[in-house]
Structure 1
Amino acid sequence: MGQLTVGSTALSLGNAVVGTQTTAVVVAQNVGSGDVTLSQVIVTGSGFSAATPPLPATVPAGGTISITFQFTPQSSGPASGTGTLLATGANPAISIALSGVGLAASSQLTALPSSLGFNSVPLGSSASQVATLVNAGNLPIVLSGAIPTQAEFSGAGLTPGMSLAPADSTTVTVTFAPSGTGLVNGSLLVTSNAANSPTAIQLSG
């Protein structure tokens, strides 16, 4: 007689931003001496589903079959469900506890440092510093430009259309070229599709 088994009866599908999908694969093995027919995979729990080979499927002795469980949260917070494998043989119903966490969508671009000071720069010369832009959210961010609020400042190094994946970063070079004496305050406004656009880097020189 055949017997279908799985390595674990608990499966975590990890974290997923609401509306996106994570997957995990369960491999079931026939450890018995005869064929087993997997007839159905039943999934319960909000956001959980399964993709299988065409069913019913025959698994010979010693053979395996893979089931891909999917988690697509519709709201933030922990979620749980159950995947049940129905088969012939000595183990006709295998229940797998499913879990995952839905994350609220976040689109946040952070500048490090958030301010740059150029101290004293002689007329006719310039000074440059570098700031790092970090995608601190969990959605991709597309950069569109860097706009100074004062003519004495400029930003370089950003390519319009550049995409930053979550936790990715890039740099922008800020240059101060004074046109007269005295303190100049301004900002470099980095525009993007982030929720906090434009992201301001405060400048003084």
Structure 2
Amino acid sequence: AAGGIALSYGAHSNLCVNQINRNGTEQQKSKYLPKVYAKTDQSSKPQHGITAFLIEKDYPGFSTAQKLDKLGMRGSDTGELVFEDCKVPATNILGQENKGVYVLMSGLDLERLVLAAGPVGLMQAAVDVAFEYAHTRKQFGKNIGEFQLIQACDEGYVNSKDCAGVILYCAEKATQVALDAIQILGRILRDAKLYEIGAGTSEVRRMLIGRSLNNEYK
């Protein structure tokens, strides 16, 4: 199983392609894929005054730095981007000036929905590997899959609501399944854990679900 493949697709298709599709001009849509957010109003609050930009690789002042050594998702490269006095034309603003946060947040629902498929795949991979190993690995003269504690590791399905609910449930279950599998064999856990953080933490997802439920009864 390679969780980094799903992450690379999710990051490119949602953080980049989906944002340009939702907020870009027709000219921008036909020309660009990458985007960047930058502070354009220094006097505003931290969450305001940010603008989304389209950056071309050959712009003066833009470069890439070191590749980061990560705990998980190592198949999906993450590196530092350097913007040293990088000048970007006004025509490359994505959405409205000082509204970059809205550009980012407007795509989170789809991002959460798409990324929820990743932990589902990791769960399947963990089960596939662990089940096979449990029936070939022998301890005390028999397969470890015959021990009662391993036979008892079966979880029911809970149906959560909304995009936040989907990725909240899938991400936390992926981590739990990986933890269960690690008792039998090991691996996958480092990739699964990221899904509890990316596209909003589990705490943020619970808040969104609770807020949505409260609004239904107002």
* TM-score, L = length of structure 1: 0.23
More strand by share: 1
* TM-score, L = length of structure 2: 0.22
Structure number with greater Rg is 1
